[in-house]
Amino acid sequence: MDLVWPLWVFLVFLAAFHGGQSRQDDVNVGAIFTLGSINGKVSRIAIKAAEADVNADPTVLGGRKLSITIHDSNFSGFLSIIGALQYMETDTVAIIGPQTSTMAHVLSHLANQLHVPLLSFTALDPSLSPLQYPYFIQTAPNDLFQMTAIAEIISYYGWGEVVAMYSDEDHSRNGVITLGDELSDRQCKISYKSALPPDPIGTREDIAAELNKIQMLESRVIVLHTFSKTGLLVFEVAKDLGMMEKGYVWIATAWLSTVLDSNSSLAPKTAETLRGALTLRPHTPDSKRKSDFIARWNEISNGSIGWNPYALYAYDTVWIIARAVKTFLDQSNNISFSDDPILGSFGKGPLNLQALSVFNGGDMLLNDILQTNITGLTGQIKFNPDRSLVQPAYDVINVQQNGFPVIGYWSNYSGLSVVTPETLYAKPANRSSANQHLNTVVWPGGTTTRPRGWVFPNNGRQLRIGVPRRVAYLDFVEQVNGTDEVRGYCIDVFLAAIKLLPYAVPHKFVLFGDGHKNPSYNELVNMIASDVFDAAVGDIAIVTNRTRIADFTQPYVESGLVVVAPVKKLNSSAWAFLRPFTPMMWAVTAIFFLIVGAVVWILEHRINDEFRGPPRKQFVTVLWFSFSTMFFSHRENTVSTLGRMVLLLWLFVVLIIDSSYTASLTSMLTVQQLSSPIKGIDSLITSTAPIGFQVGSFAENYMIEELNIPKSRLIALGSPEEYTSALENGTVAAVIDELPYVEVFLSNHCQFSTRGQQFTRSGWGFAFPRDSPLAVDMSTAILALSENGELQRIHNQWLRKTACRGSSDVDSDQLNIKSFWGLFLICGIACTLALIAYFFRTCQKFSRHLPEEGNRSSRSARLQTFLSYADEKEDRSKSRSKRKRNDQVGEELESGSMSMNRSNRVHFDISVEARHGDTWFH
C-alpha cells in the first residue's frame, strides 16, 4: 500500500487542472463509486435522494447547501485516486467511499494527511484499523461480524471443515483470514483456500480449474466471498460441474443478497444455479421511515434497479455527515482550509502540489461524526469505542425455487434465532447452544436433510489403510498366505463398522512391517500424520502420545497392562488347615487368647469362686477359659461388670476371626490355589528382576517413562513361545503386556497367571488423521455394533478360548495381621482400660481397709499387704449389708438433734458400733 503513495502524488499534477473553487455557501462532499456495479448504482440514487432531503430541510445546515459530487471509478483503482485528488482541490469536507477495501487502504493515507474524513459502507475489510487509518470510518457492519455469523452457522450444523473461495484482493483475502480465526474458535477450520482472479477479470476457465480442485477434496461446505460478477460465474460453472447437487453446501457472503434484492427478476438459468445456497443480508429493522423510502424508490430510481440494504446505508451516511457538519457549525466553527507545509516544501514545480489543502476543522468534524447517535433508515446509528456500529445483525437467506425467504437471523447480541434481533434486544442476552435456531433449509439438490458436509473425493483413489504385519497373536491381525489380504478380529470389526456407514468407503489395506517382528505401532500412527496412510486399523492401543498426532475412534475392546508370572499349585497337605493364617497371625491370635484369659481372671479373682483356688488350678482355669472362647464353650461365668464387657468384646473378635478362617480354608480346599513371589506391579517395581514385554507394544515406553524402570531390566519378546521360554528359564521374572494378548496367551499356558490387578486403563481403536469426520462416523458405527451384539459375536468367533481346566486367578495370599489389626487394637485398649479401672477401685478399697499404723510400715510390707489383700476373696453379700447399714445410720444422723454436742455424738457413734459389733464404722 505504501508503494501507491508516490503514484497518487504524481497524479496531483494531473488532478490540479481539474479543480475549481466552490461557492462559499456550499458544503462540498465527494463520493467515489463504480457506477456500473449494483452497489454503485443504488448508492448514487440513494446519495442524491439524501442530498435533496438534507437541502430541503433548512434547519440542518442553517442556510448552507450540501453539494455532493459523485466520481465514477469504473472498476479502476487509478481512477479512484484521480477522483480523490480532485476532491481535495475543491475544499471537500468529507468523502463517501471508496467502494472497495483495496482503494480504502490507499486513499486513507491521503485522508490522514489532509484531515478529510473518509466514510464507506461497502469497504468493510476488518483489517482497516482505526489506529492506522484514523480518518476512515465504516458506516455499515464490517466483515468481522459477517464472518462471525457464517462461522456460527457452520458450527450450528456441526461441520468441521470448509473450503473458502475468494477473489485475490484485500477485501476478500482479509475476510477469509477473519473467517478462519472465527472457525478456529469453534473447533472448525478452513481445509482449503481457493483464490480467484480479482473481480471482474476472472474467466470461466480460471473458475473451472479451481472448482475441479475442490471436487477432489473431502469437504463439501464452500464459503464464497467475492463480488457479484465473479460470484454468479462461480455458481454457473459449479452447476455445470454437478456441484449444486445433493451433498454440497454453498454459503455466499452478502454480495449474493444484493444481487437477489436489486434484480427483481433473475434469469431462470441464473436462479436455477443459485438454488439451495445460503447467503447473508445486513439486517435493517422495519420502520415507517424505511417503508416510506422504499415506497418512493421506484420514483427516484425510475425503475432502473431494485433497492438493497446498501442503498439505506448510503442514504444514512449522507445524513451522518450532514448532522456532524451541523454540530460543527453550531459550535461556531468555520469551514476553512490551509496549505499543507509538507506539500509546500516541494515548491512550485510542475506537479503543483500546493493545490491540495488541509481541512483545518477535520479533527473536530471527525469527532462529531463518531459522536453520532441518530435513528436512520438502517435503525440506530451509533459507534462503539472501536468505531464499529452498535447492534450489528444479518438476515439468513435461503435461495429456493419460489424465492429467497429469510430462515433466521444472526445478531452479535443473541446469535442465531428465528426471532428478529430487535425483539431479543429487550431480553437478557442468551448465546447458549440450546437457544440457537434456524428454520428448515432447502439444500442443493432439493433436500431438506442436513448434508454431512464431506464425502470421499471422487478421484478414483482408495483410502490407504495401514495394517500391522504381525508375527504373533495372529488372531487379531493376520496376513493371508503371504498375499496382501488380511484377516482377524480387528479387521472384521472394521469391516462390520464400515457396512453401517451411510456412504461407501473405498479402501485398500496396506501392510506395515517387515514380517520378521511386530512393527512399531508409534511409527504406524506417525505415518498417518505424515500422509503415508489415510487410516490405521489393527490392535492399536489408544495412548496419550498417539492421540496428539491422530484421532481415534471409540474403543472397540477394553485393554490395559497386566503382569504375567509363573505360578505353582498349592496342593493339599496334612497341614493345610494352617494355611489360612500367616504365622504372625497365628502367634498374635494365640497371645491375645492368653491376654484376654489373664485379664478376665484378674477381674474375676476376688469375687468369683470359679476363678479361685490353688495356683495350679487357677493356671489351668485361665488356659481353659482362654481357648474355649474360640468355640464359645467356656463354662465359667463372669460376675463383674468389667469382666463381662471385656468378654463380650473378645467374643465379637473371635467371631470375626473364626468366620474369616472358615471362609479362607473352604476356598483353599475347594479351589485350586496358585502361588508366586510376584504379587503385582508394585512388587515387580521394587525388585531388580528382568521384565519382558512384547515387541512393538507401548508397554516399553510406559515402564520407562511412567514407572521409572531402568531400560536395562527390560527384555523384548516377540511371540507367546518366547514368553513361555523366558518365564520358564527365569530369563524374565514376569511379562507385562496388554490384557487381550494375555487372555489369549493364558488360554494355552496354564502354568502362568496374571498377578495383581490391571494397572492401566485403555482400549483399542482405529486411527485417522486429526479432525477427520470419518473418525466420528466410525465411532458411531462401533457403538451400534456393541448395542446390537455384533461386536461380541466377532469377539467370540476369534478370541473365545477354552480356559485351563481347574485353573484360577485367585491369589494364594494368606490372611495376615493387617486385616485384623483394628480388632486387636480395640480389644487391647478395652483390656487395658478395664485393668486400670479395676486397679484404682482395688486401691481405694485397700486404703480404707489398711489400719493407720500400717501406713507407717515399710514399702515392701505395704506391697505384701496389698498383694495379700488383692488375693483375698471379697464377700460381696457382706459388702452389700454394710452399705445398707451405712445408709440407715446416715438417716438416723440426719433425724437426730442438731444441738447434740460433739461428745454426745462420739458416744452415740461408739454405742452404735458396740451394738453392731462391726469395725466398718469410724
Helices (H), 482-582: 489-499, 521-529, 544-547
- Per-residue pLDDT at 121: 95
The pLDDT of 892-898, averaged and rounded, is 46
With 60 as the cut, is the pLDDT of residue 807 above it?
no
- Per-residue pLDDT at 180: 96
End-to-end CA distance of the chain: 122
- Per-residue pLDDT at 9: 38
With 90 as the cut, is the pLDDT of residue 630 above it?
no
Look at 116-130, 420-434, 528-542, 862-876 and tell me which has the smallest mean pLDDT.
862-876
Look at 40-49, 697-706, 897-906 and tell me which has the smallest mean pLDDT.
897-906
Q: What pLDDT band is residue 604 in, cutting at 50, 70 and 90?
A: confident
Dihedral (Cα; 476, 477, 481, 485), 10-degree rounding: 140
- CA angle (414 as vertex; 409, 420 as ends), nearest 5: 40
CA distances from residue 244 to 236, 275, 458 in whole angstroms, order as listed: 9, 8, 15
CA distances from residue 337 to 21, 24, 356, 361 in whole angstroms, order as listed: 12, 12, 9, 8
19-35 pLDDT, tens digit each: 333 445 789 999 999 88
- Per-residue pLDDT at 20: 37
525-572 pLDDT, tens digit each: 999 999 999 999 999 999 999 999 999 999 999 999 999 988 766 555
Task: Tell whether the torsion through CA atoms of 872, 874, 878 and 882 is positive or negative.
Answer: positive
The pLDDT of 216-234, averaged and rounded, is 93
In terms of Cβ atoms closer than 10 Å to its own Cβ (0-12, 13-18, 19+), residue 505 is middle
Are 227 and 166 in contact by the 8 Å Cβ rule? The answer is no
Q: What pLDDT band is residue 904 in, cutting at 50, 70 and 90?
A: very low
- Per-residue pLDDT at 896: 47
What average pLDDT does the chain have? Answer: 82
- Per-residue pLDDT at 901: 42
With 80 as the cut, is the pLDDT of residue 774 above it?
yes
- Per-residue pLDDT at 853: 43
With 80 as the cut, is the pLDDT of residue 356 above it?
no
658: left (phi over 0), alpha (psi -120 to 50) or beta: alpha
- Per-residue pLDDT at 484: 82
With 60 as the cut, is the pLDDT of residue 891 above it?
no
96-109 pLDDT, tens digit each: 989 888 889 888 98
Determine what percent of the chain is predicted with pLDDT higher than 70. Answer: 80
Selection from 397, 393, 427 nearest residue 411 by Cα: 393
Instruction: Considering only residues 902 and 38, tell me which one the structure prediction assigns the higher pLDDT.
Output: 38
62-76 pLDDT, tens digit each: 889 999 999 888 877
110-123 pLDDT, tens digit each: 899 889 999 999 99
Instruction: Considering only residues 893 and 820, tell me which one the structure prediction assigns the higher pLDDT.
Output: 820
- Per-residue pLDDT at 379: 94
d(CA 298, CA 296): 6
* Predicted TM-score (pTM) of this structure: 0.68
Q: What pLDDT band is residue 913 in, cutting at 50, 70 and 90?
A: very low
CB atoms within 10 A of CB 745: 21
Q: Where are the beta strands (DSSP E) in 236-304?
A: 249-252, 278-282
Q: What pLDDT band is residue 46 in, cutting at 50, 70 and 90?
A: very high
The pLDDT of 339-365, averaged and rounded, is 70
Look at 45-49, 623-627, 690-694 and tell me which has the smallest mean pLDDT.
623-627
CB atoms within 10 A of CB 883: 10
For the ranges 91-95, 277-281, 621-625, the one whose mean pLDDT is highest: 277-281
In terms of Cβ atoms closer than 10 Å to its own Cβ (0-12, 13-18, 19+), residue 818 is exposed
For the ranges 486-500, 838-852, 894-908, the one whose mean pLDDT is highest: 486-500
Q: At 559, phi and psi to the nearest 5?
A: -140, -175
The pLDDT of 717-744, averaged and rounded, is 91
- Per-residue pLDDT at 249: 97
261-310 pLDDT, tens digit each: 998 777 888 889 999 999 999 999 999 999 999 999 999 999 899 999 99
- Per-residue pLDDT at 344: 56
Q: What pLDDT band is residue 691 in, cutting at 50, 70 and 90?
A: very high
